[in-house]
């Protein structure tokens, strides 16, 4: 199956955001991945509503918003109004995860749940009907440009088994340190979508990097 490629705007040039958005519009990428960080859930602050709204004005593909924030239920509806089409919250940030996922769907978005490195995939076993996608963090979130942590790889296979066993068609994503060298391994483990920041925006030819990720080319 051809993977879904979601370039992460975190690695774009914010002084030339429209240019970088147009680059993605004209590429084989499928989604825009938009990382929102609050400086509490993760040790970094990225951007909020005005930037998401600005991205939406130019983006011609779905907006996959990854909320690395505490109490995401306070902001889900506003991110949906600003143009998010997919909203992913962290398992570790939600006391009532089922309620938040329901809220995301009621806001008209695809509901996603992200798992940090230490969180086993089986915490999702009783919730499979409540989400549309699961994001396996392949780094400790907060910053772009980190190296993939290999401990994350077997989690993707385990989650694939869990979802298959439950008859779920939810998508599995991987986020952090993804590039040409490791994407085929993660796709073989069962990933459906790949988030890539540095390996796309740091490439000499970002559109070609996207094309190669999409077509599983190895360097």
3-class SS at 34? strand
188 is catalytic: no
**Residue of the chain from 23, 24, 46, 66 that contacts Zn ion (CB under 5 A):** 66
CB 176 to Zn ion: min, Å? 7
Question: Is 168 annotated as ligand-binding?
Answer: no
Question: Is 167 annotated as ligand-binding?
Answer: no
| 64 lines the binding site for ligand DX5 (CB under 6 A) | no
Decide whether 10 or 101 has the Cβ nearer to ligand DX5.
10
Closest CA to 188 of 217, 214, 153: 153
According to DSSP, the residues that pair with 33 across neighbouring strands are: 8, 64
| 175 lines the binding site for ligand DX5 (CB under 6 A) | yes
| 177 lines the binding site for ligand DX5 (CB under 6 A) | yes
| 90 lines the binding site for Zn ion (CB under 5 A) | no
| 206 lines the binding site for ligand DX5 (CB under 6 A) | no
Strands (E), the chain: 4-7, 32-37, 63-68, 86-90, 110-115, 133-137, 171-175, 193-196
According to DSSP, the residues that pair with 61 across neighbouring strands are: none
| 175 lines the binding site for Zn ion (CB under 5 A) | yes
Catalytic residue among 20, 35, 132, 192: 35
Structure tokens at 29: 């990428």
| 145 lines the binding site for ligand DX5 (CB under 6 A) | yes
Which contiguous run of DSSP H or E holds residue 92? none
Structure tokens at 61: 């593909």
Q: Answer whether 180's CB lies under 8 Å from 209's CB.
A: yes
SS (H, E, C) 5-28: EEEEHHHCCHHHHHHHHHHHHCCC
129 is catalytic: no
| 144 lines the binding site for ligand DX5 (CB under 6 A) | yes
Region for residue 190 given its phi and psi (left: phi exceeds 0; alpha: psi -120 to 50; beta: otherwise): left
| 38 lines the binding site for Zn ion (CB under 5 A) | no
CA 193 – CA 199 distance, rounded (Å): 15
**Residue of the chain from 11, 97, 124, 172 that contacts ligand DX5 (CB under 6 A):** 11
Question: Is 33 annotated as ligand-binding?
Answer: yes
Question: Is 58 annotated as ligand-binding?
Answer: no
Give the residue ranges of the annotated binding site for a divalent metal cation.
Answer: 33, 35, 66, 175
The contact set with ligand DX5 (CB under 6 A) reads 8, 10-11, 33, 35, 66, 141-142, 144-146, 175-178, 195-199
> Catalytic residues, which ones?
35, 175
Binding-site annotation, residues: 8, 33, 35, 66, 142-145, 175-177
């Amino acid at each position: 199956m051809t993977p879904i490629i979601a370039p992460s705007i975190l690695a774009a040039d914010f002084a030339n955001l429209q240019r970088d958005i147009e680059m993605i519009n004209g590429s084989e990428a499928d989604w825009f991945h938009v990382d929102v960080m609050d400086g509490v859930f993760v040790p970094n602050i990225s951007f909020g509503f005005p930037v998401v709204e600005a991205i939406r004005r130019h983006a011609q593909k779905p907006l996959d918003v990854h909320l690395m924030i505490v109490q995401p239920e306070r902001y889900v509806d506003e991110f949906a109004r600003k143009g998010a089409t997919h909203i992913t919250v962290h398992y570790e940030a939600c006391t009532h995860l089922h309620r938040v996922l329901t809220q995301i769907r009621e806001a008209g978005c695809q509901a996603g749940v992200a798992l940090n490195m230490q969180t086993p995939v089986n915490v999702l076993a009783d919730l499979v009907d409540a989400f549309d996608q699961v994001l396996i963090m392949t780094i400790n979130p907060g910053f772009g440009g980190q190296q993939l942590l290999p401990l994350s790889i077997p989690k993707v296979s385990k989650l694939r088994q869990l979802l298959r066993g439950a008859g779920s068609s939810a998508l599995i994503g991987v986020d952090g340190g993804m590039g040409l060298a490791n994407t085929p391994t993660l796709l073989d483990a069962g990933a459906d979508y790949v988030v890539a920041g540095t390996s796309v925006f740091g490439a000499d030819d970002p559109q070609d990097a996207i094309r190669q990720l999409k077509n599983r080319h190895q360097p």
